[in-house]
Amino acid sequence: MAILPILEIPDPRLRRISEPVQEVNDAIRTLAADMLETMYAAPGIGLAAAQVDVPLRLLVMDLTDGPEDADGNRTKNPRIFINPEILDPSEDYSVYNEGCLSVPDQYADVERPATVRVRWLDEQGLAHDEVLEGLLATCLQHEMDHLNGIIFIDHLSRLKRLMVLKKLDKFRQEQSRKKAFA
């Protein structure tokens, strides 16, 4: 297992269209395991292969909404989606304050279909077809966007996007200042 470096904007590699996975093999399973480890370490609730510089249609998610154990840790619930496809998105929308590991420390409200039917392959190559709702639906759509070179700030108004980019700039300056004095 390995923690992989996460690409950040404005890296042009985040803008590539990812290719379908041709065969679900050990290399793909290893990549998915590394992506989960990377996501947990970040920490984040989702990660697309594009974010770790692999332009394949593969994403992982874990909302860790399972029960807490005695130490207050939640049971992990890792999910792997290979070649995911969205079918009939709902007409009703929901708004969520989204963040992205490729846009560190920035959050903004994004409106997306509240429920989506999703078809995908798991790490054994088995097909699934399920209706997702709530944060699961939001996160899946955020990750699917990455497979198509789209980042959550693309959904904002120009003014809102400029504000986020300015705050990101400030955040990075602060980070490098801290590093210099560490």
Residues forming the active site: 143
Binding footprint of ligand GNR on the chain (CB under 6 A): 44-48, 51, 96, 98-102, 138-139, 142-143, 146
Instruction: Please tell me whether residue 153 adopts helix, strand or coil conformation.
Output: helix
| Minimum CB distance to ligand GNR, residue 96 (Å) | 6
| Minimum CB distance to ligand GNR, residue 98 (Å) | 4
Minimal CB distance residue for Ni ion: 100
CA angle 31, 34, 35 (to 5 degrees): 85
Q: 47 touches which of Ni ion, ligand GNR, none (CB within 5 to 8 A by kind)? A: ligand GNR
Q: 58 touches which of ligand GNR, Ni ion, none (CB within 5 to 8 A by kind)? A: none
Spatial distance between the Cα atoms of 7 and 168, rounded to a whole number of angstroms: 15
Instruction: Please tell me whether residue 27 adopts helix, strand or coil conformation.
Output: helix
Residues 6+ apart with CB under 8 A from 12: none
Binding footprint of Ni ion on the chain (CB under 5 A): 100
**b/e 53-83 (16+ beta carbons within 10 angstroms → b):** ebbbbbbbbbeeeeeeeeeeeeeeebbbbbb
The smaller minimum CB distance to ligand GNR, of residues 34 and 143, is found at 143
Q: 96 touches which of Ni ion, ligand GNR, none (CB within 5 to 8 A by kind)? A: ligand GNR
